[in-house]
């Protein structure tokens, strides 16, 4: 059972990291886009990244489960580090990224689960974002994914090392 949880955890952490890394790698090109093109591009991420984004809380939960299954010693502490990195990655989404997502999506028609997910905090975020320059929001969104990619990669390396020991 431990091996199954380890493999599933690695796959989910890798998926969550890949999504953040994909956004981070787009940064140089997207910073060159004018407002209209940038805003048009933002809508392409939904629903695909929304579906893939489910890997992030699942990875966090399975990493927590690994903490209970992992024997003590170095592997345990590496897993603690991976869990902390994933927790920080998740927090960065809710604090930095999600409020800006609500602004980008304010004129996008979403349905089902995506509509409910992005509605969380939408009113508060939309009011604050209305007064901000679009480049401030763009920079916050783009840089938040760089932070998330670094945290995800660090967590993935720590977790892979823990499992390899």
User: How far is Cα 142 from Cα 158, in angstroms, rounded to an integer?
Assistant: 25
Q: What would the pLDDT profile of 2-52 be if each residue is shown by its tens digit?
A: 899 999 999 999 999 999 999 999 999 999 999 989 988 887 776 677 777
Q: What would the pLDDT profile of 115-129 be if each residue is shown by its tens digit?
A: 555 566 655 555 555
Residue 101 banded pLDDT, cuts 50, 70, 90: confident
Q: Residues 39, 108: contact at Cβ < 8 Å?
A: no
Is the alpha carbon torsion for 105, 11, 8, 94 positive or negative?
Answer: negative
The rounded percent of the chain whose pLDDT value lies above 70 is: 83
Query: What distances in angstroms separate CA 108 from CA 81, 85, 118, one per listed residue?
Result: 38, 32, 11
Length of the chain in residues, anyone?
165
Cα radius of gyration (the chain): 17
Predicted pLDDT at 75: 94
Q: What is the DSSP secondary structure assignment for residue 115, as one 8-state letter?
A: H
Rounded mean pLDDT, 134-158: 95
């Amino acid at each position: 059972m431990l091996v199954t949880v380890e493999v599933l955890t690695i796959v989910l952490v890798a998926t969550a990291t890949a999504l953040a890394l994909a956004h981070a790698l787009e940064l140089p090109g997207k910073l060159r886009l004018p407002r209209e093109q940038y805003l048009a591009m933002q809508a392409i991420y939904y629903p695909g990244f929304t579906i893939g984004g489910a890997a992030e809380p699942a990875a966090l939960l399975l990493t927590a489960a690994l903490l209970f299954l992992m024997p003590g010693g170095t592997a345990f502490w590496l897993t603690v580090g991976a869990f902390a990195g994933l927790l920080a990655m998740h927090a960065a989404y809710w604090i930095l990224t999600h409020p800006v997502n609500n602004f980008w999506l304010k004129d996008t028609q979403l349905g089902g689960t995506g509509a409910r997910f992005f509605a969380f905090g939408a009113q508060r975020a939309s009011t604050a974002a209305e007064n901000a320059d679009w480049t401030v929001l763009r920079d916050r969104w783009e840089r938040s994914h760089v932070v998330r990619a670094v945290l995800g990669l660090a967590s993935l390396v720590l977790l892979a090392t823990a499992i390899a020991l």
